[in-house]
Amino acid sequence: MLSNLKAQPADKILALMAAYREDPRPGKVDLGVGVYKNAGGLTPVMRAVKEAERRILAEQDSKSYVGLAGDPAYSNVMIELILGESVARERIAAVATPGGTGAVRQAFELIKLANPNAKVHVSNPTWPNHVSILKYVGLESVAYRYFDSESRGVDFAGMLEDLGKASEGDVVLLHGCCHNPTGANLNLTQWQQVVDLINEKNLVAMIDIAYQGFGDGLEEDAKAVRLVTSSVANALVAGSCSKNFGIYRERTGILMAISADAETSVVQQNLNYLNRQNFSFPPDHGARVVTTILSDPALRADWAAELEEVRLSMLGLREQLAEELREQSGSDRFGFIAQHRGMFSQIGTTPELVEKMRADSGIYMVSDSRMNIAGLNAQTVPILAKAIVDAGV
């Protein structure tokens, strides 16, 4: 049987990481993997996480299963963090998942259960796993225009035109903030127009929010999600704690499904069922860490303060890089980098020039020119700027 298996294509980012490790050059710069790093190149454990884990270790008296949906307390604190008071609690069904990827997977599975003929409209470009998982679960994906490679902003007219072709019951997948891979976001006026289109055509909104707090702040980054979920009949929200709590390896995510009051119990039953089929009980440690932090005012304040430090450090790197490129190129054409938000920016160049930067300067970024801003520090910003200019980007 196993001899019938076919080799799978290598993951581009993992292959990039391997090539980076094997590169002996001392000045190499890793901008590929989507993990936050501080100025010393470390992905630190946040202070509040350490304290929450200390408390859990001292107080936890059982490792028994929690439940198919995870701990209800975790769902409640995450709903409050992401949705605030924008949606009545009785309209929300929720389950804990293994990371934000698990939440996305369960959302697609739920869509297939509810409407196997639904098409899922995804931005061009989007996080590669979106399209990969859709293909695996057997749902059709349709790309809509999003990134303008000339302005390095959002092609909003193209986006609306493409979404206008969606059929009733189709799903529109949106990035809640800090668009991955481009860093280019909609403004609230544009978000309202998307909401109007969703309602006009009876579409279903799905929002993937993996970077809350990395863009313009915890509350600001949630505004679009809250606008959408408070304005449509049905919505799915896939949330992740990997980035803003720094607990990547704990695989801590949540899927929320918003529906009419009478449907919520049935939706919850289906979410529980999907968890049971895919992994039974979701992991609890990361969820318990998050619940401990968000339920304690002092821990929550310390976590929010450290997260703000992370956000401001990335903004500072964006501004430094934009200024360095302005000086080295004698042009303002890279000003968009300071306007993008989150960990990533897509500089809008060709795979050939990306490879040239790797070969000539040891700059490692994904072939579509997505770079992880958090992979930089004050010393490597000038190196990157010089490589971009020298390559003729």
Q: What is the pLDDT of residue 13?
A: 83
The verdict on whether 210 is a catalytic residue reads yes
Rounded to whole angstroms, the Cα distance separating 21 from 380 reads 17
pLDDT in tens, 59-90: 999 999 999 999 999 999 999 999 999 999 99
Q: Is the pLDDT of residue 93 over 80?
A: yes
Catalytic residue among 96, 210, 235, 391: 210
Predicted pLDDT of residue 184: 97
Amino acid letter, 131: V
Assess whether 103 carries a catalytic annotation: no
Q: Which of 170, 208, 221, 368 is catalytic?
A: 208
Catalytic residue among 30, 243, 257, 387: 243
* pLDDT band of 262, cuts 50, 70, 90: low
* Segment 10-51, tens digit of pLDDT: 888 888 889 999 999 998 999 998 899 898 889 999 999 999
Q: Would you say residue 212 has pLDDT above 80?
A: yes
Task: Please report the domains of the chain, with CATH numbers, ordered by start residue.
Answer: 11-45+310-391 (3.90.1150.10), 65-295 (3.40.640.10)
Average pLDDT on 366-374 reads 94
Task: Give residue 288's pLDDT band: very low, low, confident or very high (50, 70, 90).
Answer: very high
The residue annotated as part of the active site, out of 107, 127, 205, 368, is 127
Instruction: Output the average pLDDT for the chain.
Output: 96
